Structure 1
Amino acid sequence: MAVIDQVDSAKPIVPSLINNSRNPLPDELSYLITSFVPTNDRGKRSKAYLVLASYCQGVRVSMGQAQDGRQDVGTQALSRSFYPVIQAHITESQEAGVLAGFSFLTALFQVDWQVAADIFQQEAVLASISDILDLYPSDIVSREIARLLSQACGHNACRATLTTEVTQWLEAAVRQKKDVSLQSAAAVAITKLSRGAGTDALVESAQRPTYDTDRDLVELMKGILSGESQESFVDAVECLAYLSIEPSVKEDLSKDSAFLKKLFSFIPTRRRTSTTSADIPINSLTYGILNVIHNLSVYRPPLSPEQEQVMKLRRMTKSGTTGSRDSDDNHLDTLEDEQHVRERGRNLVQYGAINVLIAAIRVADSQGIMLIASQIFLNLGVDKENRGKILQSGGARALAEIIRKSFSAAETSQEQPEVDASVLQPIQAFAKLAITSSPTQVFGPDPGAIYDAIRPFSTLLTHSASSPLQRFEAMMALTNISSHSTESADRVAKANGLVAKIEFLMLEDHVLIRRAATELTCNLMAGSDVVFKRYSDSNSAKSRLHVLAALSDVDDLPTRLAASGALASLTSSPIACRLLYELECDHHRLIPILTTLIDKPLPGSESVESPTRTPLMLLKEETELKDLTTALIVVVKDNTENVEILRPAAEALKCLMDLGVVVPGV
């Protein structure tokens, strides 16, 4: 097929196709449609995918976003261009033409599924598939039809058009033992169809596949991966990626160390080479393997009351007796609880999943692979026991590299006011590591690496798409960084929009978020002149001090400690002391709050310095200090061996005595 050689000169053809997007030349379409047959070299097929993607994108750009009925005009235009050519090929009497037509439609599903789905649903295409199946097609055509069906079954509109005869043919293809490639491709289609049939109202129960159990398919795919038919590996892994959504399958796979080690061996690492041949598309295989790992490690998201009600209604509609149904549901719920997910994650780490993630990021320069690898790091990092192992294996460096590439890509685009929300997950995974370990352990001895982490953590905190949990973890990570050095704290404080966001979150109703914001403020107060001046020498300093005073009186102990610690730092400023005095005169609440902090320290409050530099000379004239002096005496008596507390308490009492305040018992 000499026409395939034209792929090497794809660049001149792409502009021609795009320029003729409304009425592409027949020879150009003929060139494309014959480029995806499985007998062609994989490199040339890869180039053909690029040409097809460029053409489809060019048509859609030229058409814009206009709608005509239920379809956009781009989909309509592309369907009109491709459908006649595809139909002409799949209705040929020669096998080569039929194979070219089906392989092109399969490729189109991967490039522009809306167009492919529209063509697949055409009556002539469906009829051709049925006719060919009735004629007992050759092995190579059967495999291509199975691959086409595996693509189509991923979309509900296509699933709704499948007949009972087609599903029965797929089941037979899975059961046969002669052709492993056909078996694996049909298994993917069966799996997608069975998963979708439960939610597609248009799919009749008679059309649903009746293959025995998920366990049978899992064992079949394991066998394929252990065999020598490497061209079936991608299909087998894709099938397992769909099957591993089920809790029982997750549990079984996570305990199968031999399977996991075999699965992980397909991705090359520094210690070994991949067990797959060069003809296997490594990106597709890697992405499928990471999907399996992700399914095994993902935690069930918390359900809202409305979602819980929907789940109950779904259970009520399932067939079977009430007793058995409830028992099965309870078992599945148990397999998805935190304990089981945590155990599955530990198994993955034990069998080498972290090294697989790092290798995948290194060998496959794909945005999709980097994103799912980040999600897995995030899943595994939920368990604190795994975080040290992630750090030891170089997980922090891998996440830093993903984040760096994401920011670099965002900087080249002027259209978005902020980085894409997809970068938040790798940053959150990075933040989890920075929360529980020292900055040196996470970022290394180079302070530059610590400074570089400030921007992504600041982005995680201030991004419009950040969740409350992401904001909380961002603040915890920044708190850890700001405690490393005054330079680190100062750089955190100067991050664009960060301090204003923190001050807003200090008023948050959620206790943990409010606490994290207050603790970060306390650290910045001690380490950054920028923040210190903001609270002691600005037009809004008084209102900010008022907030700190109020937070020193909340029920949550860590928040009280952080807020009062920030106030203690600020008492070294005469201006801040004057403003605190004004607050006391305005509201008469500051001295009672400070007295309570001294008089009734809660466990752990010993670490907060006593605010000894309040303007007592002014307060003496207008405030009753009896309770304060009594509280200080108690502190002195109870801490005779604790110099850090005894010294400032004694100094405060001496100041009171020098001012003429009567101190009981002295």
Structure 2
Amino acid sequence: MSTIAELVEKATRDTGEPKLNLAEVTVLVDALSPEAVGDQRSQGYVVLSTICTKVRTKYGPEDGTARLTRLFRPFVQGSLLPNELALKRVLILLTALFQVDSQTAISILTSSNAVVTLKQELILKNVPIQLKKALASLLGHAAGHALCRSLIASECTPWLEKQCNQGDDLALRATSANALIKLSQQEDKAVSVSSIPGFELAALMQSLVSGTADIYAKAEAIEGLAYASVEPRIRALLSEDPKFLSSLFNFVPRRLSPTVPNAIDGLSSLLYGIAVVTSNLVLSRPQRSQEEIQLEKLRNLANSAQKPKPGAEGEDLEDEKHVRTRVGKVVDAGALVALTNIVKLSDSSATKLVVARSLLSIAESKVHRGEILKAGGAKALMTIIRSSSSNPPPNAGPEILLPIQALAKLAITASPLQVFGAGSDASLDAIAPLCRLLLHESSSSLQQFEAMMALTNIASIGPVTSTHIARFPGLVEKVEILLLDDNVLIRRASCELLCNLISADEQIFRRFGGGDDETFTAAAKSKLQILLALSDVDDTPTRLAASGSLAVVSSTQSASLALISLQEEKGNLVPILLGLLVVDHGEINSTSESEQLAKGLFLRSITCISNLFSLSNEVSRDKILAAFIAGGIHQTLATAVEQYGTSDSTLINPIVQILKSLEMYQKR
């Protein structure tokens, strides 16, 4: 008879469709047994995975399933005899197939009389505890698939309930409860569900996680809670139990060691389960549109005379106050260290994306962002981003943006040096993903806003980072489009990012009219017109950024000439710049910041005016001087002096220079 090592060689060597006889399948199944010694179990999974992959690659989804079913079904049917060893092998094989190739497992389980036979031989007879645990494990895996639920519920639910309530073996109780929870999550109302309420099953799982040393029972309980914790009431139950939360997060190993993979059967699945439970616990209700809110009100009105639906009371548990409290308790219990350790330990892209979703939810509150950084959250997110970029999960959608959005939130409220480490080089790796977040076709307005805010902070480090941002393909073009967005926050963020880039990058500086006369284009003049218009909007931060950009580019002759041309064509340059010199404090919301913001607008405007008055082209210079005199610049400057006083030289000196230029013009 072949050995498992020989099967590994055969499976990897064969270029055609792998073929196994019944004896070889028996060797494979024995290697897949939890009692297998050494590395036989891992070798068994290598063989099974290799066979399934080769068949599906060669024949496609449907034909591949049919061929794999024909390969393994004879072993299942031939072993469904009143023989404990044979029955155990069937359970082991089907359980392994559900983990490696679920479509084949479903096909075998639903197309044969397997469930009925298993019921007759295992459920209706008093069999050893190991067989019961193996059966419960198989039913738990099968219950995760809609095609199997009806069959399992009708044949096995009473047995699962019995095993769940008996106390002889905690792992069996947990595995049975896990299967029942999965059955209770299904949406097919024709399928009967357990008589044990889901809340009670979750409470049992909760007690097993926090109160038993049986790691297999804990692992099963965590998997069950990954399903159960989608319910608001159960999220509230779990978050109110510090002992449970501590046990859950302490179950994550600090580091990989030779004993860790063997200590827990299926470390990868365990880490995924902990990540999902955590993600559910910190989840907040998605923001709803006004239309969705109105529809909800209409539904509530229509159902007001009806009996409330089960779990409807959970809606109150999802408001901002409850979510904030729940997240705080999860963080206090050690979730952040556990999540960052999961990233270090797991090779699964799916698990890492769940961690990213958790970190994003926690980062929604600025209070926790510093704690995320202390726990190594930024490094963990960068690891997730690199992993999802190089090896994206199948059918990856907008969720691939979640780790980048979480990173953006951290980079908005903290110094880039705190987030990424000392030196500009440490921030360069974050630029590309943040640019992708801004440019991605699935990116929401919030994600675009946060990406630009984070990039603005990184650009502030210096010319090196600014140049990297400015030269990212399509980035500047996208930012220019967003300057005209209807959303005021999007306009503000795009304008602030552009202001930083214009100040630091020569190419962007020239793109907006900087440089020699020969490089000036009609497109650049159009861009200046947009900046001028944004310098006159109601939003003060946007005005600061737009007028700051004008102050930078107007230092060149070409841009100043273009601005004078806009004054001649539109007549709005002079009133806009004069309007920035003296700002009504009522326009600015925060009185504590109003004077500083007003001074910022003044300095930007006075710099731009000074640049215009310094033109070497005498004809154009005289035109703009006359326009400002006609616009009332003397009165405006007098008001500015009255408002700001004469003690601040940074304000008074530019005013004196402007007045000298005006006086020289008027004397000629």
Common topology (TM > 0.5)? yes
Alignment of 1:184-199 (within 5 A): 184-196=174-186, 199=187
Deviations 1:149-180 (A, max 9, x none): 11111122211223444211111110111122
Please list every run of 5 or more consecutive structure 2 residues that lacks an aligned counterpart in the other structure.
514-518, 589-596, 614-620
2-structure distance, mates of 1:272, 1:336: 40
2-structure distance, mates of 1:238, 1:216: 12
Q: Counterpart amino acid of 1:523?
A: N
Aligned position for 2:381: 399
Q: CA deviation at 1:145?
A: 1.6
Deviations 1:157-211 (A, max 9, x none): 2112234442111111101111222211110110011111xx21442xxx21110
1-structure distance, mates of 2:438, 2:241: 39
From 543, 557, 570, the equivalent of 1:587 is: 570
Query: How many residues align structurally?
Result: 638
Match of 2:666, SS state, is coil
2-structure distance, mates of 1:588, 1:343: 55
Q: CA deviation at 1:574?
A: 0.9
From 557, 561, 564, the equivalent of 1:574 is: 557
Aligned position for 1:176: 166
Residue 62 in 1 paired to residue 58 in 2?
yes
| Residue 266 to residue 42, structure 1, CA distance change in 2 (3 Å) | farther
Residue 659 in 1 paired to residue 657 in 2?
no
Residue 262 in 1 paired to residue 247 in 2?
yes
Aligned position for 1:515: 492
Aligned position for 2:543: 560
Residue 105 in 1 paired to residue 94 in 2?
yes
Residue 360 in 1 paired to residue 342 in 2?
yes
Aligned position for 1:234: 219
Aligned position for 1:68: none
2-structure distance, mates of 1:87, 1:242: 32
Aligned position for 2:592: none
2-structure distance, mates of 1:565, 1:250: 49
2-structure distance, mates of 1:77, 1:271: 38
From 396, 413, 420, the equivalent of 1:443 is: 420
Aligned position for 1:31: 27
Q: Counterpart amino acid of 1:607?
A: G
Alignment of 1:372-451 (within 5 A): 372-409=354-391, 423-451=400-428
| Residue 140 to residue 464, structure 1, CA distance change in 2 (3 Å) | same
Deviations 1:583-633 (A, max 9, x none): 222222222222322343543232132222225423246677333432222
2-structure distance, mates of 1:638, 1:315: 56
Aligned position for 1:20: 17
Aligned position for 2:103: 114
Aligned position for 1:152: 142
Q: CA deviation at 1:488?
A: 2.3
Please list every run of 5 or more consecutive structure 1 residues that lacks an aligned counterpart in the other structure.
66-71
2-structure distance, mates of 1:576, 1:139: 84
Match of 1:377, SS state, is helix
Deviations 1:568-588 (A, max 9, x none): 111111111111112222222
Alignment of 1:477-626 (within 5 A): 477-536=454-513, 537-539=519-521, 540-601=523-584, 602-603=587-588, 604-608=597-601, 609-610=604-605, 611-612=608-609, 613-614=611-612, 616-620=621-625, 625-626=630-631
Aligned position for 1:285: 270
Aligned position for 1:7: 4
| Residue 313 to residue 591, structure 1, CA distance change in 2 (3 Å) | closer
Match of 1:38, SS state, is coil
**Identical residues among aligned pairs (%):** 34
| Residue 307 to residue 57, structure 1, CA distance change in 2 (3 Å) | farther
Q: Counterpart amino acid of 1:93?
A: P
2-structure distance, mates of 1:124, 1:272: 43
Aligned position for 1:166: 156
Q: CA deviation at 1:649?
A: 3.1
Match of 1:295, SS state, is helix
2-structure distance, mates of 1:12, 1:259: 45
Alignment of 1:119-134 (within 5 A): 119-132=108-121, 133-134=123-124
1-structure distance, mates of 2:276, 2:569: 61
From 188, 193, 202, the equivalent of 1:200 is: 188
| Residue 73 to residue 195, structure 1, CA distance change in 2 (3 Å) | same
Contact kept? 1:439, 1:481, Cα under 8 Å? yes
2-structure distance, mates of 1:95, 1:192: 27
Aligned position for 1:69: none
Match of 1:162, SS state, is helix
Q: CA deviation at 1:358?
A: 1.9
Aligned position for 1:325: 308
Contact kept? 1:265, 1:275, Cα under 8 Å? no
1-structure distance, mates of 2:405, 2:429: 15
Match of 2:544, SS state, is helix
Alignment of 1:286-365 (within 5 A): 286-304=271-289, 322=305, 325=308, 329=312, 331-365=313-347
1-structure distance, mates of 2:39, 2:23: 22
Higher mean Cα deviation, 436-445 or 648-657? 648-657
Q: CA deviation at 1:96?
A: 1.2
2-structure distance, mates of 1:46, 1:437: 44
Q: CA deviation at 1:85?
A: 2.5
2-structure distance, mates of 1:182, 1:549: 71
| Residue 655 to residue 9, structure 1, CA distance change in 2 (3 Å) | farther
Match of 1:35, SS state, is helix
Contact kept? 1:230, 1:277, Cα under 8 Å? no
2-structure distance, mates of 1:15, 1:227: 41
Contact kept? 1:171, 1:209, Cα under 8 Å? yes
Match of 2:254, SS state, is coil
Aligned position for 2:43: 47
Q: Counterpart amino acid of 1:94?
A: N
Q: Counterpart amino acid of 1:46?
A: S
2-structure distance, mates of 1:57, 1:310: 47
Q: Counterpart amino acid of 1:491?
A: H
Q: CA deviation at 1:52?
A: 1.6
Contact kept? 1:266, 1:274, Cα under 8 Å? no
Contact kept? 2:456, 2:500, Cα under 8 Å? yes
2-structure distance, mates of 1:460, 1:348: 28
Residue 222 in 1 paired to residue 207 in 2?
yes
1-structure distance, mates of 2:208, 2:260: 15
2-structure distance, mates of 1:532, 1:564: 14
2-structure distance, mates of 1:402, 1:274: 25
| Residue 135 to residue 593, structure 1, CA distance change in 2 (3 Å) | same
Aligned position for 2:650: 644
Q: CA deviation at 1:661?
A: 8.7
Match of 1:121, SS state, is helix
Contact kept? 2:233, 2:311, Cα under 8 Å? no
2-structure distance, mates of 1:606, 1:271: 57
2-structure distance, mates of 1:469, 1:129: 53
CA RMSD between the two structures: 3.1
